[in-house]
Every structure is written in C-alpha cells, then in structure tokens.
Amino acid sequence: MAFENYLEALWYVVGGIPTTMSLALLSFAIGLALGSILLLVRFFLPKPLPWLASAYVEAFRGTPLLVQIFIVYFGVGGYLKGYGINIDPFTAGVIALGLNSAAYQAEIFRSAVQAIPVEQYLTAEAYAFTKTQTFRYIILPQALRIALPALMNELVLLIKDSSLVAVIGVTPPDIFRRADYYSASKFAYFEAYMAAATVYFLICYAMVKISHYIERKYAIPGYLRRGII
C-alpha cells in the first residue's frame, strides 16, 4: 500500500462526511418518529392495527436493506416518475434507511416498555391512573432511558449502513462513494477503501464514546452496573 495514496485518499473521502452524517441523522429522526407511532399503535389501538404494525416491523427486519433501497428508488421512484414526481437518490436513501430504522426502533421501544416491572403498572392502577397517564408519566420516561443504549447503537449502525446508498449514486457523494471515485481515478483500490474504513471507524468510535457518556448521565439508578458501560 502506497502510504502517500492512502493519505491522499483519506483527505478526499473525508469530504463525504457531511453527506454520510446527513443520511444517518435524517433517517434516524424518521425512524424515531415512526417507531414511536408503531409503539403506540401496538399498545393502545384496537386490533387489527397492532397486527399491521407488527407486520410492518417483521417485513422490514426480514428483508435486506439493499433491496429496500432499490424498491424505494427504482420501484416507488420509477412509479412516481410517471406522475411527474422525481425522487432523487439522497431522498430515496433517507426514506429507505428511515423506514428500515423505524422497524428496529419500534422493537427497541417495545422491549424497553416491557422491561418496566409489572408492579409499577399495578401501583399506578391503585392510584387511579388511566392507561394514558400511566404510560406518559411513569412508563415512557423510564423506557426512554432504558432504550438509550440500543438507540445509540442503532445510530451507529445507520452511519455504517448509509454506505449502501452509494449504489444508487447519491449526490453529493458520501464517504463510500468518494472512495469509489478515488479508486477508479487512481487505480488505488486498497488505499481508497482502507481510507473509507478508517473514516467510518473514527466516526463510529466517537459515537460509541458519546453514547457511553449519555448512558451514564441518564441511566436509571440501579440499572447501571459497574463494568458494563
């Protein structure tokens, strides 16, 4: 590996960080909003709506993300193009990543809610709390804090999974797409992809450290055990 090429490639792929982070953060926000809605549907609305929400979760968790990106961009995008609506690669990538993340975040929220001891539900019922009041004032604040580690992990996964959007030609180019450009122009494939891997690692490592800080700061007393975080 030519070290000079590696450094040059590293400097070049760094320019894709804004696009990569935009893809990850926007899709995470979509997933957070839609995942919250799916949680409420599964816990509060009458059947068959909870079944439909569960079907959505299983469908997106059970199919490859790359296939979902192609469906959104070429399938849905191609269909809408017949009506004069164009979906650019960046928008398609955010939508596909967001819809996929929503399924995983819905499961994160569900498991966090189910981790709350049943005694707290019974205590709220004894104090004549309604189901909505119990969820809003007792269950949700704790569930969000329990879900924080998994949510931060989901954000890290989205940063890495955003590299898949490069296959549909997202512009401006993300980290992986810029590595593709550099490798094709310099024929330095190993150096280019090692540079991309380095940038992804540094971003994800920083996010992990930030997540550990957030977890410690907002951990519920008694949930944080020495040596785990």
Q: Where are the alpha helices (DSSP H) in the chain?
A: 3-13, 17-44, 49-61, 65-70, 77-81, 89-114, 118-126, 131-134, 140-161, 175-186, 189-218
Section 148-177 average pLDDT:
92
Q: Which residue has the tokens 């969000």?
A: 144
Residue 227 lies in a domain: no
DSSP letter assigned to residue 115 = T
Section 150-154 average pLDDT:
92
CA-based nearest residue to 177, from 188, 193, 190? 193
Section 133-140 average pLDDT:
82
pLDDT at 217 over 80: no
- Find the distance separating the first CA and the last CA of the chain, reported in whole Å: 37
Distance CA 17, CA 27 (A): 15
Structural domain count, the chain: 1
Report whether 124 contacts 140 (CB < 8 A): no
pLDDT at 155 over 50: yes
Residue 229 lies in a domain: no
Residue 79 lies in a domain: yes
CATH code: domain of residue 42: 1.10.3720.10
pLDDT of residue 228: 40
Residue 40 lies in a domain: yes
Distance CA 154, CA 32 (A): 10
- Residues of the chain above pLDDT 90, percent: 52
Print the domain residue range for 90.
1-218
pLDDT at 209 over 80: yes
